[in-house]
Amino acid sequence: MVAELKESIAHSLGTDFYLMDELLTDEERRVRDTVRQFCDQEVIPVINDYWERAEFPFELIPKLARLNLAGSDIHGYGCPGTSMVASGLMALELARGDASICTFFGVHSGLAMHSISMLGSEEQKQRWLPAMARLEKIGAFALTEPNHGSDAVALETRAHRVGNEYVLDGAKRWIGNASFADVVVVWARDDEGNVGGFLVEKGTPGFEPTVMTGKVSKRAVWQADISLKDVHIPAENRLANARSFKDTAQVLTATRSGVAWEAVGHAVAAYEIALKYSRERIQFGKPLANFQIIQHKLATMLANVTTMQLLCLRLAQLQEEGKMTAAMASLAKMNNARLAREVVAEAREMLGGNGILLEYHIARHHADIEAVFTYEGTDTVQSLIVGRDITGVQAFSSR
């Protein structure tokens, strides 16, 4: 009983204020602790330099591979087959460490691998998933275009059938990992006007990725502009079960929950940084934690973190049971990205001038949360998806 009480007190001093740990399985705790240790030991000590130089930390890929967590909830094909809760906890802990690493892993393990897992043929799964699970082959997901972000359903990239091949022409933008990926899932419209996913392999002539520069958010992960000019791929490289944008949306809905978890990770990191700083920073002769206004800020931050945690936990349970809807995923992403943005901003402010120095890490989270707030559907778009669900009226384009 004494040991349990001590553990409970320890939790109350951290970010598990409502003892969510008690609701996790041993395997889920193992996954969480494994990723947290990886981030504490391998990511956080080196990531600021990469972020400042806008360079991708390739040195971390083999170390990440050794965790054997790529593919997360996918069963078979060398993937770990974790629960949806464990998959979410991976995103949380990676984001707590660094958003760029979280995005690299999310694009590869979430978007690319799940596109193949959910929509590919057995042959496509056997060819790609085992090597991707080992991170020997890296994946990317190319949907967004220069003129189509929120209205991705209106994509203009074309896939013209010529005999036993498809010829792809068009352009993509903001495509994570694409500059070095071994396979890119390119979403394009076929001759019948239907949207499909096409597996474009590294080095295919006409496929030209260019790393985007000038970013002020998630600087340590590379997004690319892609030019597709007369790109010939075998017909068997079309995802077998991707025949409309609804299929694309299935993948996006499944991964949107991961972004909600990612937002929690940023908020957890910000709260931990602020709490530690408030205890150590002396002003007017005493630690910041002694001031009422600081305690009020910390309490509000913790309330937001706890709300986000519990929302994600329930969402993952619904996803595991096959009950999660697109609107549920959108509500979680909308709510958590907004609250995380508030928590991170509050923490940055609490650190004063030190809050803009990379060495305190909060400046990196403060910049990176802006990308999380925007991608996988902006706050406005998420609210309209939820609004459509609760009113029965669609308030945006029906294309």
Q: Which long-range contacts (CB under 8 A, 24 or more apart) does 208-211 make?
A: 209/175, 209/178, 209/179, 210/179, 211/179
Contact 120, 106 (CB under 8 A): no
pLDDT tens digits, residue range 189-206? 999 999 999 999 999 999
pTM attached to this predicted model: 0.94
Find the domain containing 97 and state its range. 2-133
Residue count (the chain)? 399
Contact 271, 15 (CB under 8 A): yes
Specify whether 295 is located in the same domain as 366.
yes
Tell me how far apart the alpha carbons of residues 299 and 297 are, in angstroms, rounded to a whole number.
5
Among 83, 98, 133, give the residue marking a domain's end: 133
Tokens encoding 268: 């957890």
Tell me how far apart the alpha carbons of residues 43 and 100 are, in angstroms, rounded to a whole number.
10
Q: In this structure, what are the phi and psi dihedrals at residue 335, rounded to the nearest 5 degrees?
A: -65, -50
Residue 122 has a pLDDT of 97
Among 85, 112, 133, give the residue marking a domain's end: 133
Residue 355 has a pLDDT of 97
The answer as to whether 398 is a domain residue is no
Q: Average pLDDT of 92-110?
A: 97
The answer as to whether 44 is a domain residue is yes
Specify whether 278 is located in the same domain as 382.
yes
The answer as to whether 127 is a domain residue is yes
Helix then strand then coil, % of the chain, to nearest 5? 55, 15, 25
Tell me how far apart the alpha carbons of residues 10 and 27 are, in angstroms, rounded to a whole number.
21
Contact 15, 7 (CB under 8 A): no
The answer as to whether 80 is a domain residue is yes
Residue 171 burial class via C-beta count within 10 angstroms: exposed 0-12, middle 13-18, buried 19 and up: middle
Tell me how far apart the alpha carbons of residues 132 and 196 are, in angstroms, rounded to a whole number.
21
Among 243, 270, 295, give the residue marking a domain's end: 243
pLDDT tens digits, residue range 18-28? 999 999 999 99
**Average pLDDT score over the chain:** 94
Would you place residue 7 in the very low, low, confident or very high pLDDT band (cuts 50, 70, 90)? very low
DSSP-derived 3-state class of residue 70: coil
pLDDT tens digits, residue range 305-353? 999 999 999 999 999 999 999 999 999 999 999 999 999 999 999 999 9
Specify whether 250 is located in the same domain as 239.
no
Specify whether 381 is located in the same domain as 322.
yes
Q: Picking from 265-274, 341-350, 381-390, which range would have the lowest pLDDT averaged per residue? A: 381-390
Residue 6 pLDDT exceeds 50: no
**Total count of domains within the chain:** 3
Place of tokens 């600087």: 219
Q: In this structure, what are the phi and psi dihedrals at residue 78, rounded to the nearest 5 degrees?
A: 80, 5
Residue 254 has a pLDDT of 82
Would you place residue 149 in the very low, low, confident or very high pLDDT band (cuts 50, 70, 90)? confident
Q: Average pLDDT of 241-268?
A: 91
Which parts of the chain are beta strand (E)? 75-76, 79-80, 139-142, 158-162, 165-176, 183-190, 195-201, 207-211, 223-234, 282-283, 286-287
Place of tokens 């965790």: 67
Tell me how far apart the alpha carbons of residues 35 and 69 are, in angstroms, rounded to a whole number.
9
Q: Average pLDDT of 6-19?
A: 64
Rg (CA), the chain: 21
CATH code for the domain of 372: 1.20.140.10
Contact 231, 208 (CB under 8 A): no
Residue 12 pLDDT exceeds 80: no
The sign of the dihedral angle between the CA atoms of 289, 291, 293, 295 is positive
Tell me how far apart the alpha carbons of residues 142 and 131 are, in angstroms, rounded to a whole number.
20
The answer as to whether 220 is a domain residue is yes
CATH code for the domain of 31: 1.10.540.10
The answer as to whether 188 is a domain residue is yes
Specify whether 157 is located in the same domain as 84.
no
Residue 13 pLDDT exceeds 60: no
CA dist 317 → 88, 308, 328 (Å) = 11, 14, 12
